[in-house]
Structure 1
Amino acid sequence: MESETPIPEGWVSVPLNQLVSPSTEKVEPADDPDAFYIGLEHIEPNTTRIVGHGFARDTKSTKTRFISGSILYGKLRPYLNKVSIPDFDGVCSTDILVFPPSDAADTRYLMRFLSTSAVVDFATHQSSGMELPRTNYLKLGQLQIPIPPLAEQRRIVARLEALLADTDQVRGRLDAVEEAMQRFRQAVLGAACSGRLTEGWREEHIVLQETSWELSKLQDMGNWSTGGTPPRQIKSFFAGNIPWVKSGDLNDGVIADTEERISKEGLDNSNAKILGDYLISATFKY
C-alpha cells in the first residue's frame, strides 16, 4: 500500500516486514493453564481496547504466546479492526498476529497506524476466504509505514492519545444518554405490556371492549428450549456461512451480524433454531 499523501521531510516510508516480525512461539493450554488468554472477542473493534480476558485452561487448541507491550493484530475478518497492546503477558488465539516490541519504531505509534481505515481497507482487500476472510503476514508485511524520527513518533502518540481521551469522555456521556434511553424504552415497554399505556383509552371506550387481559406464563405460550453449541474442537463446524448467534450479538432486539458462522454439519450437531424464533439471553446483567 503506497501512501497517496507525500510524507514530511525527515520521514521515511518503510514496509512493515522491515519493522516487525510476528512471534512464532506457540504453547499448549495444558502447559500454562493459568496464563491470561486473549481471543478476538476480547478486543473491541476500532478502539484498540482490551475488554476482558479468559484463561488458557478454558481453551483447547494451540495458542501463540505474547509479552506485555506486544501488538495484537486480528487477522480474521480484518474489517473488524481489532488491534491492541496488552499490559500483561499471556497467550492468544492463532487468529491474532503477535508483533513483539521493536526498536525500529514506537510500538504505540505502530499500533495506531495499523488501526487506521487505510490499513483496514488494505488488509480487507488482501484477505482470502469467502466465509472466514483472513489476511496474513506475507500480505500485511507489504504495507508501507510512514516513519518519523522516534522523538516525533512519541509526540504524535502523546497528542493523539490526549485527543482520544477527550473523545472517550464524550463517548462516556453518550453512553449515559444511551443507558437513560434504554431505561425509558424498557419503562415504555413495561407500561405497554401491562396495559398502563392505553389505560385512558380503555376508560373512554369501555363499552366497546369485548375481551379482557389474561396473565399467562411463558411456558404456556410456545415451545421453549435452550441452544447447544457444536463441539468447538471440530473446526469444520465453525467454517460455514450460517450465522451463529451468541448473547453478545443481541443488541437491543437487533442482530446486525454475528461474529461466528457455522457449517451445515455444525448445525446438525447443535440444538440451534433457524427461523421465526424469539431469542432471549440466558445471561443477565443487573
Structure 2
Amino acid sequence: MDTNKLRQKILDLAIHGKLVPQDPNDEPASVLLERIKAEKERLIKEGKIKRSKKSAKTSDTPHYEQVPFEVPSNWAWTTLGEISNYGDSNNVSVTDIADDEWILELEDLEKDTASIIQILSKKERNIKGVRHKFKKGDVLYSKLRTYLNKVLVAPQTGYCTTEIIPFNSYCGISTHYLCHVLRSAYFLDYTQQCGYGVKMPRLSTNDACKGMIPLPPFAEQHRIVAEIERWFSLINIIENNKEDLQTAIKQAKNKILDFAIRGKLVSQDPNDEPAVELLKRINPEFTPCDNGHSRKLPQNWCWAKGMFIFSPMKSVQPTGETFQYIDIDSIDNVRQTVKETKVIKSSNAPSRASRYTQKGDVVFSMVRPYLRNIAKVCFNDCIASTGFYVCSPLDMLHPEFCYYLMISDYVVNGLNQFMKGDNSPSIKKRDIDNWLFPLPPFAEQQRIIAKIEELFSTLDNIQKALEA
C-alpha cells in the first residue's frame, strides 16, 4: 500500500469538495471573501498592512476566466495572496533570539509528511544571520524544493530558516485547511511549473501569492479538516503497523514450513509408498535413522541423512571462453532467489574447483548460514562458489520440496550450531551430509508443495499490497 498516494487521493477529494457533503445552510465562500476584502481595507487604513501591488488589469473583485477545476456552487476560487499575509514575514536577527527559543531548520522536517523530526533551541545550534519569527497556528511553508512537501501548521511559537515562509489567514480561514491545499498534488504541480532554479528550485513570493486556492464555506473548511485528520490518523496506524505486518508475514511463512516438514500441513494417505521403501529401492545402502531423532514423524515418513537424499557434488573446472557463476553476491537472501549470475571468463576462473549446478538444485551457503543465502537454481549448466553446498535432490526428493526443506528454520537454525571460525564462521560439507532430514512419501511431497504454494501466494499478495 502506497500510503503517500493514499494521502494525496484524500487531499484531492477534499479540495474538489468530494470528501464531505455540502450543507446548503453554510454561508457561501463568496460572502467570506467579501468580509476578507473589508477586513484588509480596514487594516490598510490603520497602517497595519500595506496595499498589495496590482497590475492595471486587476480589479477589486477578482474574476478568473479559467479555473483549475470545478468546485461546488457555494465554494469560490481565490488566491493565497488574497486570503493570507504570505510574504509579510517578521525578520529577526539571531543575536536577538533567546537561547531557549525553538529554531526550526528544513532538515528538522520529514519530507512528504512534514513531521517534526527534532526540536532544537538556539543554544543547541550553531547559527548566524536572520530567522523568520512564527506564532503557534501559523502555516509554515517551505519555498525551497517544494516537491519535498514540507508544509505544516506551527504547534508552538519559534523561529525558522528564511527558506520557510510563516503566514496566517484573514477572518479566521482555517490554516489547517490551507496547509492541506498547499500539500495537495494540485498545488505541488503548480509550484513545479513556476519554480525557479535548477539544483535548488524555489517558489517566488509573487508566484506563491498568485497560487489559486479552492475555498469552501467557513464551516465546511472545519468539517474537511476533521475528515482529513481522521483518514490520516488511520493511515498513520497502517504505517506504524506496516513493519509488524511484514514480520508477521515472515513468521507465518516460517510456521507453514514448520508444519510442512512435520507432516501437519496436509493429511497423510496410507496408500502412499512409505519414504523408507523408496529410499531402499533407490539406494540399497540406505540405513533408516528413525531412532536418531527425538521428533516423531508420521508413519510413512522417515529420517534420512543428507548424503542419502542429495547427489554427490561435482567439482568441475569451466570449459569454453566464459561461464555463469554464482557467488554470495548473486543471492537475494530475502526472497531466497538467484537475482543474477555473473559471466566470467574461463581464464579468470577461481583456482579452486567449483561446484556444478543445474536447474532444480538448491545452493546453500555454508558461510554464516544464519544469513540465509539460499536459493533455487533456475537454469542449467552453472558453476557455484565452493562456499555453497549444492543440494541436488535424488529421485526420492522432489526439487521444490527440497527447496522448502532447506529454507526452513529446522534446517537453517539446526545447522548454525556447527559453525566454527571468527571472521567468517562456517559449517562443513559433512555437517549437511550427516544432518537428519524429515522425508515424506514422494506423493505427499507433491501435496505439501501445492499447499505451501497456495498459502505463500496469499501472503505474497499481502506483501505486494504493503509495498505498492
Q: What TM-score range do you get, normalising by the shorter chain? A: 0.5 to 0.7
Selected match of 2:127 from 52, 56, 60: 60
Q: Give the secondary-structure state (helix, strand or coil) at the position aligned to 1:65.
A: strand
Please give the root-mean-square deviation of Cα atoms over the aligned residues, in Å.
Answer: 3.4
**SS of match in other structure, 1:98:** strand
Gaps of 5+ in 1: 205-211, 217-286
Deviations 1:53-87 (A, max 9, x none): 22223142311111111101111111111100121
In structure 1, what is the equivalent of residue 153 of structure 2? 85
Question: Aligned residue for 1:28?
Answer: 93
Report SS of the residue matched to 1:141. helix
Please report how far the alpha carbon of residue 28 of structure 1 lies from its aligned counterpart in structure 2 after TM superposition: 2.4
- Partner in structure 2 of residue 270 of structure 1: none
Counting aligned pairs with the same residue, the percent is: 25
CA gap of 1:214–1:176, structure 2 versus 1, over 3 A, is closer
User: Match for 1:28: what amino acid?
Assistant: S
1:189-222 Cα shifts (integer Å, max 9, x gaps)? xx98635557995599xxxxxxx97739xxxxxx
Corresponding residue SS for 1:131: coil
The 3-state SS of whatever aligns with 2:210 is: coil
Matched, 1:8 2:72: yes
| Aligned mate of 1:170, from 238, 242, 247 | 238
Provide closer, same or farther for how the CA distance between residues 170 and 195 of structure 1 changes in structure 2, counting only shifts above 3 A: closer
Answer yes or no: is the 8 Å Cα contact 1:20–1:102 preserved in 2: yes
Give TM-score, length-normalised by structure 2.
Answer: 0.40
1:179 to 1:38, Cα distance in 2 relative to 1, 3 A? farther
CA separation in 2, counterparts of 1:176 and 1:203? Answer: 34
CA contact (8 A) 1:38 1:53 kept: yes
Residue of structure 2 in register with 1:257 after alignment = none
The aligned counterpart of 1:50 is 116
Alpha-carbon distance in structure 1 between the residues aligned to 2:169 and 2:210 = 19
Q: Is the 8 A contact 1:109 1:156 kept in 2?
A: yes
SS of equivalent residue, structure 1 residue 79? helix
Change beyond 3 A, Cα 1:194–1:15: same
Aligned to 1:138, what secondary structure does the other structure show?
helix
Measured after TM superposition, the shift of residue 180 of structure 1 is: 7.6
Equivalent in 190, 194, 199 of residue 368 of structure 2 = 194
Equivalent residue letter for 2:423: L
CA contact (8 A) 1:63 1:91 kept: yes
Larger radius of gyration: 2
Query: What does 1:110-189 correspond to in 2, within 5 Å?
Result: 110-177=178-245
Q: 1:13 and 1:138 mapped to 2: Cα distance?
A: 18
Q: Distance in 2 between matches of 1:142 and 1:214?
A: 65
Aligned counterparts of 2:155 and 2:168: Cα–Cα separation in 1: 12
Q: Secondary structure at the match of 2:197?
A: coil
1-side partners of 2:80 and 2:390: how far apart?
72
Q: Structure 1 pair 194/147, CA: closer, same or farther in 2 (3 Å)? A: same
> Which range moves more in the overlay, 38-47 or 151-160?
38-47
- Tell me the CA shift for residue 102 of structure 1: 3.5
Structure 1 residue aligned with 2:423: 215
Query: What is residue 167 of structure 2 aligned with on the other side?
Result: 99
State which drifts further: 107-116 or 58-67.
58-67
C-alpha distance in 1, partners of 2:373/2:242? 31
- Could you tell which deviates more after superposition, 9-18 or 20-29? 20-29
Aligned twin of 1:241: none
Q: Distance in 2 between matches of 1:119 and 1:53?
A: 28
Q: What whole-Å deviation, never above 9, does each CA across 1:173-200 have from its counterpart, x for those lacking one?
A: 1143467899x979x9xx9863555799
CA distance in 1, matches of 2:227, 2:236: 14
Residue segments in structure 2 that go unaligned for 5+ positions in a row: 1-63, 255-332, 337-364, 375-386, 392-419, 425-468
2: distance between equivalents of 1:192 and 1:17?
A: 67
CA contact (8 A) 1:13 1:145 kept: yes
2:89 and 2:167 in contact (8 A); partners too:
no
2:283 paired with 1:75 = no
Map 1:209-248 to 2 at 5 A. 215=423
SS of aligned partner of 1:154: helix
